[in-house]
Amino acid sequence: MSAAVEIMQQLPSFARQSFPFEIHFKSAVSRQLLDYLLVQVQQGTNFMKICQGIGSLNFREYIARHFNQPNREGSSEDIENAFYQNFLYSYPSNDKLMHLFLSYYDKTKDLLEQDMRSHIGNILICDHTFKLGSHIGERSSRKEPTEGQFDRAFIGLNEYGEVMFLRLTRDAGFEQIEDLLQDFRLRLLNEGIQLELILVEDCCVAQDHFTNIFGNVPVKLSPFHATQRVVESLPPWFKDIKKFAKDFRMVFRAKDDRSEERMQNTPEGNTICENLEQFMA
């Protein structure tokens, strides 16, 4: 079994894909289980809950087969103990699921990178997300907390919300993303696309850096962060902060764009000023 991985790698791609399972070192996983894992991860389910879900599905299958037997015996405790001792119904641990996911990513990362680089746009929306970076790191033991390798993730979107580039960083220093932005500028040149607007979270600090790379493209504070700064300035005793934030974000919407989801582009400055005056009235 330990040499099965090397043997499978010698087979043509179409032959490997014909097997209903993928072989790893001293283990194998069905493609059906791998698909289930990928779908759950895409939906935001953490690995521990996925592990528990797989265990529950296996237990339901075990119970169904047990009660279909003609001479079924044993208490609930006996049935449960027998389930955990039956290797046919064993299921991967939390760590094993992570290994399977990382193995899949390692095989497909070039395709994912190509897909991300295929997206381009006239508007660049940059942001740092802290939650993603904080969950990536190395844990010295199961009891000790994870020691983060990255502090945040820098992400670039176009006007359609498509990810054009992504990088994990240790801090907000511009030197960690400068080459990434330079590469994006070359992609724009190769596609013959002129960048029209850059939206960032800290326009006052980052404007000079972006101007050095993209020239005289306007660098503005994104509507999301503009709204967030106003909301964060409210005193703790302020009532209905959530309602205030929901109403205030409409300042950056077109006058006939009042649905829960934004349907139109951000209006011109005059319209925003009129919306602001109406909001404060």
Tell me how far apart the alpha carbons of residues 222 and 125 are, in angstroms, rounded to a whole number: 8
pLDDT for res 139 = 54
Helices (H), the chain: 4-9, 13-18, 31-42, 47-67, 76-85, 94-117, 130-134, 178-191, 203-214, 223-232, 241-248, 269-280
State the average pLDDT for the chain.
82
Tell me how far apart the alpha carbons of residues 60 and 186 are, in angstroms, rounded to a whole number: 54
Percent of the chain past pLDDT 90, that is, above it, reads 21
List pLDDT tens digits, range 12-64: 776 666 676 777 666 777 888 889 999 999 888 989 999 988 888 888 888 88
pLDDT for res 135 = 60
Tell me how far apart the alpha carbons of residues 215 and 204 are, in angstroms, rounded to a whole number: 16
pLDDT for res 194 = 93
pLDDT for res 198 = 93
Tell me how far apart the alpha carbons of residues 133 and 146 are, in angstroms, rounded to a whole number: 12
Say whether pLDDT at 65 is over 90: no
Tell me how far apart the alpha carbons of residues 29 and 99 are, in angstroms, rounded to a whole number: 11
* Average pLDDT score over residue span 137-166: 74
Name, in order, each residue with C-beta under 8 angstroms of 204's C-beta and a sequence gap of 6 or more: none
> For residue 124, what are its two tokens?
């660049």
What are the CB-based long-range contacts (under 8 Å, 24+) for 103-111? 103/22, 103/24, 104/34, 104/38
Say whether pLDDT at 3 is over 70: no
Map out the domains of the chain with their CATH numbers: 3-104 (no CATH), 119-136+148-221 (3.30.420.10), 234-280 (no CATH)
List pLDDT tens digits, range 109-134: 888 889 999 999 999 999 887 666 55
Burial of 50 (0-12, 13-18, 19+ CB in 10 A): buried
pLDDT for res 119 = 92
Confidence of residue 137 (pLDDT cuts 50, 70, 90): low
Say whether pLDDT at 144 is over 70: no
pLDDT for res 140 = 54
Per the model's pLDDT, the better-predicted residue between 68 and 253 turns out to be 253
Say whether pLDDT at 7 is over 90: no
Say if strands 163-169 and 152-157 run parallel, antiparallel, or are unpaired: antiparallel
| Beta bridge partner(s), residue 75 | none
Say whether pLDDT at 79 is over 80: no
Per the model's pLDDT, the better-predicted residue between 147 and 206 turns out to be 206
List pLDDT tens digits, range 163-182: 999 988 887 788 889 999 99
| H or E stretch covering 164 | strand 163-169
Comparing 116-125, 156-165, 231-240, the range with the smallest average pLDDT is: 231-240
pLDDT for res 90 = 76
Confidence of residue 209 (pLDDT cuts 50, 70, 90): very high
pLDDT for res 94 = 85
Confidence of residue 142 (pLDDT cuts 50, 70, 90): low
Q: How much is the pTM?
A: 0.68
* Average pLDDT score over residue span 224-246: 84
- How many angstroms separate the Cα of 96 from the Cα of each of 27, 75, 102, 145, 161? 10, 31, 10, 19, 33
